[in-house]
């Protein structure tokens, strides 16, 4: 089976990962299977990217993205270079296009964690090496791949599984929604009025769900939304760059805290997911975050394994 999955991902050689819809559902599923095999059989892929160089551009701070990508490259026999925008010429006005062209002469791949999605699109257009989205304002595809890997490990399949996202309709919600319906999972988004997912992302997800048969719902009441849920997912209420909105957000999102009471409306074996970092007793109670239902640290580890599958597929010579 894994040989077939590797063959399916060969089409990704030299290809960017800017958003999940750049890939087919079959390819994403093959990536998940490959990541699962890479996690279980690490030694089999040692030196798979020997001599390969990944440049990691950070215009936003990170813990998991930096460490997971760097560890992934080391485990695959390659090397990752941390590139802070504060230390690069893009921090002094050089265009992102010029940066892409220059780095293409030095590296075998680029990962960037940035603000506007248009920046990564411009970088990818100018570069002639694979560009991987470490996070933008619209999408977080690598997080979604890690989430799908986690769900696959727990359930062994995707179809027939209900995933409910409770909270802010942000970049994490966008990629998770698209990834879920691409895999045929039922997905429910529960957000307060005014914090819904971007309209263009919702339309994309609706189109995909009509093709895969996934049930896609938008339910404002979180207690109604989580009924029958196999997984409940949330994220921080105030992301980087939204600090001025923090007070208003705390008030608006208070009914959307994932706590023991909300969890009681879901299936008895429902698992709790969070992309981290988490603010205990804000978007999630400490009891749920640190309880038996939580799989958040399994998710965090899976960032590395999912990204290894992406790097291997895009950069292997």
**Span 87-123, pLDDT tens digits:** 899 878 899 999 999 999 999 999 999 999 999 999 9
What's the whole-model pTM score? 0.96
pLDDT (tens digit per residue) in 208-236: 999 999 999 999 999 999 999 999 999 99
Q: Annotated binding residue at 89? A: yes
| 275 among known catalytic residues | yes
Catalytic residue chosen out of the listed positions 235, 270, 274, 299: 235
pLDDT surpassing 90 at residue 2: no
**Active-site option among 275, 299, 305, 307:** 275
169 CB neighbour count, 10 Å cutoff: 22
Which residue is catalytic, options 33, 274, 303, 305?
303
Residue tagged active-site, from 52, 143, 257, 299: 143
Q: Could you give the percent of the chain with pLDDT greater than 90?
A: 91
Whether 143 is a known active-site residue: answer yes
Q: What is the mean pLDDT of residues 23-34?
A: 96
Residue 75 is a catalytic residue:
no
| 138 in a labelled binding site | no
- Residue 143 annotated in ligand binding: yes
Q: Are 12 and 141 in contact (CB under 8 A)?
A: no
- pLDDT for position 244: 83
Chain-wide mean pLDDT for the chain?
Answer: 96
Q: Could you confirm whether 280 is annotated as catalytic?
A: no
* pLDDT on residue 269: 98
Confidence bin at 1 (pLDDT 50/70/90): low
pLDDT digits (tens, 9 = 90+) for 34-74: 999 999 999 999 999 999 999 999 999 899 999 999 999 99
Q: Which of 55, 11, 81, 36 is nearest to 308 (CA)?
A: 36
270 assigned binding-site residue: no
Q: Does 140 participate in catalysis according to the annotation?
A: yes
Whether 61 is a known active-site residue: answer no
């Amino acid at each position: 089976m894994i040989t077939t999955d590797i063959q399916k991902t060969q089409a990704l050689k030299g290809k960017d990962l800017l958003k999940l819809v750049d890939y087919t559902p079959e390819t994403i599923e093959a990536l998940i299977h490959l990541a699962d095999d890479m996690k279980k059989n690490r030694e089999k892929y040692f030196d798979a990217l020997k001599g390969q160089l990944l440049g990691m551009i950070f215009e936003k701070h990170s813990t998991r993205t930096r460490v997971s990508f760097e560890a992934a490259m080391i485990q695959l026999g390659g090397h990752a270079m941390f590139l802070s925008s504060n230390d690069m010429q893009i921090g002094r006005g050089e265009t992102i296009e010029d940066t892409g062209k220059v780095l293409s002469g030095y590296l075998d791949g680029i990962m960037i964690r940035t603000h506007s999605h248009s920046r990564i699109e411009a970088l990818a257009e100018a570069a002639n090496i694979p560009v991987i989205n470490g996070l933008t304002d619209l999408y977080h595809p690598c997080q979604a791949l890690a989430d799908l890997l986690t769900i696959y490990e727990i359930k062994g399949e995707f179809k027939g599984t209900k995933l409910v996202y409770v909270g802010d309709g942000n970049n994490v919600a966008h990629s998770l929604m698209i990834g879920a319906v691409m895999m045929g999972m039922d997905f429910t988004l529960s957000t307060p009025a005014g914090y819904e997912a971007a309209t263009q992302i919702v339309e994309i997800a609706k189109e995909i769900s009509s093709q895969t048969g996934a049930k896609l719902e938008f339910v404002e009441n979180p207690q109604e939304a989580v009924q029958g849920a196999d997984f409940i997912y949330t994220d921080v209420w105030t992301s980087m760059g939204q600090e001025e909105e923090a007070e208003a957000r705390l008030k608006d999102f208070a009914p959307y805290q994932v706590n023991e009471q909300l969890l009681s409306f879901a299936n008895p074996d429902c698992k709790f997911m969070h992309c981290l970092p988490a603010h205990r007793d804000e978007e999630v109670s400490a009891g749920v975050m640190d309880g038996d239902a939580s799989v958040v640290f399994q998710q965090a580890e899976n960032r590395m394994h999912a990204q290894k599958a992406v790097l291997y597929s895009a950069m292997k010579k």
